[in-house]
Amino acid sequence: MERTRWYKDAVMYQIYPRSFCDSNGDGIGDIRGIISKLDYLQDLGITCVWLSPCYKSPNDDNGYDISNYRDIMDEFGTLDDWQEMIDGMHKRGIKLVMDLVVNHTSDEHAWFKQSRSSKDNPYRDYYVWRKGRGKDGKKPPNNWSSRFSGSAWEYDETTGEFYLHLFSKKQPDLNWDNPKVRQEVADICNYWFEKGVDGFRCDVIIYISKKEGLPDGKFNPILCGDEHFVIGPHYHEYIHELYEKSWSHYDCMTVGEGQGIKRKDAESMVDESREELDAIFTFEHQESDAFLTVVPRPFKLSRLKKILNNWQQLPDTCWNSLFLENHDYSRSIPRFGKPEYRKQVAKMLAVVMQCQKGTPYVYQGQEIGMSNIEGLDRSQYKDIVSINVYDLAKKIFPPLIPVVKWALRKRARDNARTPMQWSAEPNAGFTSGEPWMMVNPNYTAVNVAEQQADPDSILNFYKKMIAFRKGNEIIRYGTFVEYFPKSNKIFCYERNYNGKRIFVVGSFSDKPVAFRLPEGYTFFSATLALANYPDTPATLSARTLRPYEAFIYEVE
């Protein structure tokens, strides 16, 4: 099968189905809700949807805990609805990438129910079971921590052993050293490919191979054990096997979630010659305003640019993803700008991100500038991580609670999961019932309907940005040259390809900033392509940038 690598020209749109659109008034987004918005997606210009998990799940982690990989979650609809959705997408020239969550399953998956039932069950070895330590065998087998807080091990009464769960205890890790498990995963991929799926976003795929003997990790309060399973000993072998058994037979894309990896690691994971993953999500840039992804720290533009610039230097045979938002991070406007300049910030971020090399991802609501939800109390948080962190503070040291509240307000995943704001109708037009999660009260001012009618809206700017990018060879192939890397106010770079260039500038300041062309910068002609202020000069020259001003010139 020829791999056309269509993803290099794609503009992706991530749907978090629970919060996208509710069709039947039960307060939970669903597949028929997505079907009702396909024209909206087509009009936006995106070419591929990444759909967060819609499989059967008890929803301990909102679908990232799967109890049946071959069927649809009851709350979301049926396989027939799903088929109608994908057909509707394909008819509109939109591809569909599904979430592949196979580092772990739900503890309610039939495999795990079998596995925990006895030590000699044929499914025992589908998961990672170990005897406990200590005299009574009740101490976890090693010191690894769950990414969702606490130990990564859970004691199971029935057989008196522990099972490994790098996420919640309802998400037991699969044992990829078992060839049967690897065959199951390939079969699952092929099942969906035969139904027409165009690819997979591979959830925490870098964790699948664990170091033999499962040794203790170096102390780390949040990520203990990482060095023994991030791109573990058999990672490449197992992924290549999956490529051979499944992915190579389809003109698909696979993109791996690469939390914690560096550029050199990525080169070994996505280089075309390796026949493994096609593309990678990297997260270093998400640390430009946080430690260990969760602890907020002041944002510094030069830090962000240094990281992004480094990733832009990936060899041509590797492929990266461009994103600021997804269902695991808070919204970008409050992270990178002042809320009073919401519109300019949203458009500026679109410009500086989407003109880089890689596949851009728009997360639902980003295209209308949705922002964080302020001041939730404990009962309004829905995400297992927020709840765990909150309860842990309460248990071990209650004076910490105000700090936790502050950190959650800035970083909680809940911020990105509030219902999509379609209109100024009750509940933002998301549901006619009681929404599963609180709607951001700013929906009367920030919503799709209003922005569709306003030519100067963020939504209409996104359409222009996406249209500019599509089929643009400079953006697909061009080299990336950064200017003023030390500036903490201006993001400025050029892309060039075959003698043609685009020159991109974005101000990250809420104050006027003096801008001059880079020293010795020469060009024959420059045409303004896109800008976030209406009266941007037609010629490229020195000027004072207004708050969060951004523009793109085509230069020859």
Which positions are catalytic? 203, 257
User: Least distance in Å: CB of 150 to ligand GLC?
Assistant: 15
Report whether 494 contacts 309 (CB < 8 A).
no
Q: Which is nearer to Ca ion, 27 or 337 (CB)?
A: 27
Residue 81 contacts Ca ion per CB under 5 A: no
Q: Which does 383 bind (CB under 5 to 8 A by kind): Ca ion, ligand GLC, none?
A: none
Question: CA 408 to CA 330: how far, in whole Å?
Answer: 9
Tell me the two tokens of residue 345.
Answer: 């910030």
Contact segment (CB under 5 A) with Ca ion among 16-24, 82-90, 194-202, 213-221 equals 16-24
Which listed residue (14, 20, 21, 22) binds Ca ion by CB under 5 A? 22
Q: Which two tokens stand for residue 512?
A: 């006027």
**What is the three-class DSSP state of 515?**
strand
Q: Which of 176/461 has CB closer to ligand GLC?
A: 176
Please, which residue, 31 or 231, has the CB nearer to Ca ion? 31
Pick one of 9, 24, 306, 528: the residue that binds Ca ion (CB under 5 A).
24
User: What is the C-alpha separation between 130 and 375, in angstroms, rounded?
Assistant: 42
Indicate the residue whose CB is closest to ligand GLC.
64
Which of residues 286 and 451 has its CB atom nearest to ligand GLC in the complex? Answer: 286
Residues in the chain: 556
> Within 62-91, which residues bind ligand GLC (CB under 6 A)?
64
203 binds ligand GLC (CB under 6 A): yes
Q: Which of Ca ion, ligand GLC, none does 325 bind, CB closer than 5 to 8 A by kind?
A: none
Min CB(27)–Ca ion separation in Å: 7
125 binds Ca ion (CB under 5 A): no
328 binds ligand GLC (CB under 6 A): yes
**What angle do the packed helices 458-469 and 342-354 form, to 10 degrees?**
10
What's the rounded Cα separation, in Å, for the pair 365 and 464? 17
In the complex, minimum distance from the CB of residue 427 to ligand GLC, in angstroms, rounded to a whole number: 24
Which residue do the tokens 């809206």 mark? Answer: 457
List residues bridging with 174 in a β-sheet. 127
Phi and psi based region of residue 358 (left: phi greater than 0; alpha: psi -120 to 50; beta: remaining): left
61 binds ligand GLC (CB under 6 A): yes
Nearer to ligand GLC, 101 or 555 (CB): 101
Nearer to ligand GLC, 363 or 553 (CB): 363
In the window 225-284, what residues touch ligand GLC (CB under 6 A)? Answer: 257
Q: What's the CA gap between 225 and 218, in Å, rounded?
A: 7
Contact with ligand GLC (CB under 6 A): which of 112, 162, 167, 462?
A: 167
- Give which of ligand GLC, Ca ion, none residue 203 binds (C-beta under 5 to 8 Å, depending on kind): ligand GLC
Residues 28-67 that bind Ca ion (CB under 5 A): 28, 30
Residue-wise over 482-517: b if at least 16 C-beta within 10 A, else e? bbbeebebbbbbbbbeeeebbbbbbbbbbeebebeb
| Interface pick for Ca ion out of 9, 26, 177, 267 (rule CB under 5 A) | 26
- Closest contact distance (angstroms) between CB of 323 and ligand GLC is 12
Angle at 292 between CA 402 and CA 256, to 5 degrees: 130
Q: Give how far Cα 220 sits from Cα of 143, 253, 384, Å.
A: 10, 34, 21
From the CB of residue 132, how many other CB atoms can be counted at a distance below 10 Å? 15
Distances (CA, A) of 130 to 46, 159, 232, 377, 553: 46, 10, 19, 38, 60
Using an 8 Å Cβ cutoff, are 52 and 16 in contact? Answer: yes
Q: Which of 11, 46, 101, 301 forms a contact with ligand GLC (CB under 6 A)?
A: 101
Task: Decide if 177 contacts 196 (C-beta within 8 A).
Answer: no
Q: Which amino acid is at 190?
A: N
Residue 28 binding partner per list ligand GLC, Ca ion, none, with a CB distance cut-off of 5 to 8 Å that depends on partner kind:
Ca ion
- Residue facing Ca ion at closest CB distance: 30
* C-beta of 293 vs 460, nearer to ligand GLC: 293
Q: How far is the CB of 450 from Ca ion (least distance, A)?
A: 24
Residue 192: which H helix or E strand, with range?
helix 179-194
**How far lies 317's CA from each of 5, 48, 261, 266, 274, in Å?**
11, 22, 18, 11, 10
Instruction: Give the nearer residue to Ca ion in terms of CB position, either 30 or 81.
Output: 30
Which window, 14-22, 341-349, 359-367, 483-491, contacts Ca ion (CB under 5 A)? 14-22
Q: Residue 30 binds what, of ligand GLC, Ca ion, none (CB under 5 to 8 Å, by partner type)?
A: Ca ion
For ligand GLC, the closer of residues 50 and 515 by Cβ is: 50
C-alpha torsion sign, points 202, 240, 284, 389: positive
Tell me the number of residues near ligand GLC by CB under 6 A. Answer: 9
The partner in contact with residue 107, picked from ligand GLC, Ca ion, none with C-beta cut-offs of 5 to 8 angstroms by kind, is: none
Per rule CB under 6 A, is residue 173 in the interface with ligand GLC? no
d(CA 463, CA 447): 16
Backbone angle region of 35, left / alpha / beta, with phi > 0 → left and psi within -120 to 50 → alpha: alpha
Distance between CA atoms of residues 368 and 418, nearest Å: 14
Round to whole Å and give the CA distance between 81 and 32.
7
Q: Are 546 and 494 in contact (CB under 8 A)?
A: no
User: Cα–Cα distance between 3 and 341 in angstroms, integer?
Assistant: 43
Q: How far is the CB of 372 from Ca ion (least distance, A)?
A: 25
Q: Residue 547: count other Cβ atoms within 10 Å of its Cβ.
A: 19
Report in angstroms how near the CB of residue 23 gets to Ca ion at its nearest: 6
Nearer to Ca ion, 8 or 32 (CB): 32
Question: Residue 167's binding partner, choosing from ligand GLC, Ca ion, none, with beta-carbon cut-off 5 to 8 A by kind?
Answer: ligand GLC
Shortest CB 52 distance to ligand GLC, Å: 8
Q: Does 204 bind ligand GLC (CB under 6 A)?
A: yes
Contact residues for Ca ion, defined by CB under 5 A: 22, 24, 26, 28, 30
Contact residues for ligand GLC, defined by CB under 6 A: 61, 64, 101, 167, 203-204, 257, 327-328
